[in-house]
Chain A
Amino acid sequence: MKHFTKLAAAAALGTLLGTAAVAQELYTPNLAYRTGPFAATGIPLMNGQADYMALLNERDGGVGGVLINAEECETGYSTEKGVECYEKTKGTAIVTQPWSTGITLQVLPKTNVDEIPILAPGYGFSPMADGKVFQWAFNMPAGYWDAADMIVQYLEGEGGSLSGKKIAFLHLDHPFGKEPLPVLEMHAANKGFELLPIPVGLKEMQNQSAQWLQIRRERPDYVVMWGWGAMNAGAITEAVKTKFPMENFIGVWWAGHDADLKLVGEDGKGYKSISWSFPNPDAPVMKQVKEMVFDKGLSQSNEEEMQGVFYGRGLVMSAILAEAIANAQSNFGTAEIDATQLRWGLENINLTEDRIAELGMEGMVPPFSTSCANHTGHSGGWMLEWDGAKFVKASDLLTPNVDGYSELIQSSASEYATANAPWAMNEECSATN
């Protein structure tokens, strides 16, 4: 019984300490998915995000002297769980990070009413770039339409004019996979290449023999892939099996996961993935995370994972959020900012080369800036190439030619607003995208 008393006392003390800590922290929940069918790709990203926040808490005592509470709420990539998590966390949260496209679609209209910024780095709905309409939504540093534009640019730069060529667009048959179609179709019409969309159903992700048979028959010059989760590994192994030339196979940034390529190793050499992040092993922040978080046992990650593209991307995502928090803190003169103030911070991010170096993240993210009208930043990215063991940069910084589809962004955004009328917009914003 004495033992039990001791245990009870310890539990009570823990509770007291826990409650005391609640008062001074910034709550930035992450709707993580470490379980379910997409867990393999989720875990490195979540670890990167969590470790960067842990680094800030360890090294600087949080941001502006206030600790960051980057608690995770597990969704398993299911929309129901996602909405549950959103409702559970929105009370004290200053930001919401919804992760899946399905959850983003459901949470997006709610955040506009609840007035909580939604941070969806590199995913979500491309027209979110229009900050005047989507005043609470941010998908910096780059959106899917930027990715599609950069891939087309890269292909032109490599193989000359695309006129008369054939590009197969292998995509998940899901809102996420259909996202870049408008921009790709626009380029196909302007540049005279043939676009061949090949959908992969959610149930066929692991068995794409039918799709690859079609690719073999059609003999496209390039295959562009918008895949996620198990679909990427399926496509890459199938491409190797059908001996598709890997150097003509390009994926979006979510299709550049080291583990998927390690399955095929040397055979995957030449596979490319556009990316707005790069895991620069020489960047100081990587060393600091290793020393101050990993070595202290505060991380759930492992050495191998920490070298990967997705882990590095997780670090960048948290760095963007921390930068926004710091911005808001210095502008409003208070350390404990609220959701509205954080929105200002997110709208006024200016990550220059110097600032990125200051954060110790050289070469990990391209410079970009946001404004009240531009919630994406359109940072551009690098083409990464699998060299048989890891991803390396295969191009200089590519920047999207946003002028080509800025009208599309605006018309899609206003279409969304009309469909969801009454939709609160940012009327004060006078900047242009």
Chain B
Amino acid sequence: MLYRTAGQFKTSYVADQALFTVKQDAFLLGIILLLGWVVFPLTASEFTFQTLLIPILIYALAAMGLNILTGFAGQLSLGTGAFMGVGAYACYKMVTLFPWMNPIIAILLSGVFSAGIGVAFGVPSLRIKGFYLAIATLAAQFFLVWLFEKWSWLYNYNASGAIQVPNLEMFGVFVSGPQAASVTEYYIVLFVVTLLTLLCINLTRGNLGRTWKATRDMDIAAELIGINLMKSKLTAFAVSSYVVGVAGALYVFMWKGAAEPNVFDIPLSFQVLFIAIIGGLGSIMGNYLGAILIVGLPVVLNVVAGTQVFQMSALGAAVLVALVAAVAFLGWVARNGWTIGAVAGFAVLTLIYGYAQTQGFRIDSALIEHINVMIIGALIIFFLIIEPHGLNQLWRLIREKLIIWPFPH
């Protein structure tokens, strides 16, 4: 009904190849862009900017960079964190060496440095594949973080060994550093992320994207049909590292404000990799969905768990979930064991929690944190079980169903 495609005829090959073959998709994107560009900035609080909007966008961008390499070109990389670090340190050196430089230009240029480093570490991919390549990129991860620690020129010989973002101005407005308003930082992040997303969508749909996909699916076959593997793999490394490097520069300049070398250590690489996997390898939109789940959800859960409203509504939720679980249990018990298990488990947990609340059991912040980690972990497992190809595929299935709704086939 919402996704009715009746009456939308494609009369040319161009129309068939268009970005939005269904009108509603363009409409939906319009709404999202409107939310991102107008509604959120007008309504968000400082907290929302700093803990949800800005980090989700930055992580989504980093995951998108990785997705180009791993999802589209099929080259596994565990060095994302270090490549983000290259972007961040390059940007730091540029703005401190040339204070007159426009910060956005500096951020966009910093990706060039990480692209160079990325290509250098991508050279082994010409000879090795799969897990072996992952280990080669892991070497990049360790080496680069070590370099950030030892090469004091990179952090301007600061005694602390950390880089501190200076207050940068653009047209008389502070755009980075502690003096910058969150909304300014948000708009810059949004601008850069929109720009690079547009670039990535078009690259992956174009000639280059097809050579990447061919390389991913079967490199020997790709070579036989005349694809230059070296060019294909190295461009993937270059574009991917460029996007990741820009994400790294944004990460420090528009969000963290300061960073010590170990920020770029392997946990960051894994986090970005998980976002890409949960979101869906080989997709653009999946990166955003993954970032919302992995970066945004813990913050939301934390806030919700801490509010008074939650303590009251926990009970309502418990009753509701119990009812849902009961209905679900009766309905689909044989058909869909996993869903049932998850829903029932959640219902039982909520019931226990609601009961404990009324018995005067105070939940402290460390416990919330533990529960939070468990919930996020459970959700990741849940989503990967119901759809191993990630959230993007889940959305695609929902969309397909919506298009033919109310008919099942």
Contacts and interface: CB of A to CB of B under 8 A. Distances in A.
Contacts of A113: 178-179
A204 to B, nearest CB: 12
Interface in A104-127: 105-106, 109-110, 112-113, 125
B263 interface: yes
Given A87-B50, A88-B51, A109-B177, A421 B260 contact: no
A394 interface: no
B177 A178 contact: no
Contacts of B127: none
Chain B contact residues: helix, strand, loop or mixed: helix
A428 B297 CA distance: 45
A15 B260 CA distance: 42
B311 A174 contact: no
Nearest to A104: B258
A110 B49 CA distance: 15
B358 interface: yes
Interface string A319-338: 00000000000000000000
Contacts of B265: 202
A420 B177 contact: yes
A73 B306 CA distance: 10
B314 interface: yes
A110 B51 contact: no
A202 B262 contact: yes
Interface string B232-274: 0000000000000000000000001110101101000000000
A87 B51 contact: yes
Contacts of A353: none
Interface residues of B, number: 44
A109 B149 CA distance: 22
B366 interface: yes
Contacts of B257: 106, 109-110
A15 B179 contact: no
Interface string A298-311: 00100000000000
Contacts of A88: 47, 51, 303
B358 A83 contact: no
Interface string A173-215: 1110011011000000000000000000110000000000000
B47 A87 contact: yes
Contacts of B365: 32, 34, 71-74
Given A83-B50, A113-B179, A420 B167 contact: yes
A359 interface: no
Interface in B142-180: 149, 159-162, 164, 166-167, 177-179
Contacts of A182: 159
Nearest to B149: A173
Interface centre among B160, B167, B177 (most CB of A within 10 A): B160
A72 B164 contact: no
A415 to B, nearest CB: 9
A179 B315 contact: no
Nearest to A6: B358
A11 B368 contact: no
Given A7-B315, A12-B312, A35 B366 contact: yes
Interface string B282-313: 00000000000000000100110000110110
A58 B167 CA distance: 45
Nearest to A113: B178
B369 A74 contact: yes
A35 B164 CA distance: 27
Interface in A1-59: 4, 7-8, 10-12, 14-15, 18-19, 32, 34-35
Interface residues of A, number: 50
Chain A contact residues: helix, strand, loop or mixed: helix
B258 A106 contact: yes
A412 interface: yes
Contacts of A300: 364
Nearest to B55: A80
Contact of A11 (B315, B364, B369, B370): B315
B103 interface: no
Nearest to A16: B308
A110 B178 contact: yes
B261 to A, nearest CB: 9
A202 B368 CA distance: 27
A373 B1 CA distance: 70
Nearest to B373: A35
A109 B312 contact: no
A106 B177 CA distance: 10
Interface in B120-141: none
Given A8-B315, A88-B51, A422-B167, A72 B258 contact: no
21 contacts: A7-B315, A7-B354, A8-B312, A11-B358, A14-B311, A14-B312, A18-B308, A19-B308, A74-B368, A74-B369, A83-B50, A87-B51, A91-B47, A102-B260, A105-B260, A109-B164, A175-B162, A175-B260, A412-B159, A419-B164, A420-B167
Interface of A: 4, 7-8, 10-12, 14-15, 18-19, 32, 34-35, 71-74, 76, 79-80, 83-84, 87-88, 91, 101-102, 105-106, 109-110, 112-113, 125, 173-175, 178-179, 181-182, 201-202, 300, 412, 416, 419-422
Given A11-B312, A178-B160, 18 more contacts: A7-B355, A8-B315, A11-B357, A15-B311, A15-B312, A72-B366, A73-B365, A74-B368, A80-B55, A83-B50, A84-B302, A87-B47, A88-B51, A109-B178, A181-B159, A300-B364, A419-B166, A420-B177
**Which 3 A-B residue pairings sit nearest by Cβ, starting from the closest?**
A109-B178, A34-B366, A175-B160
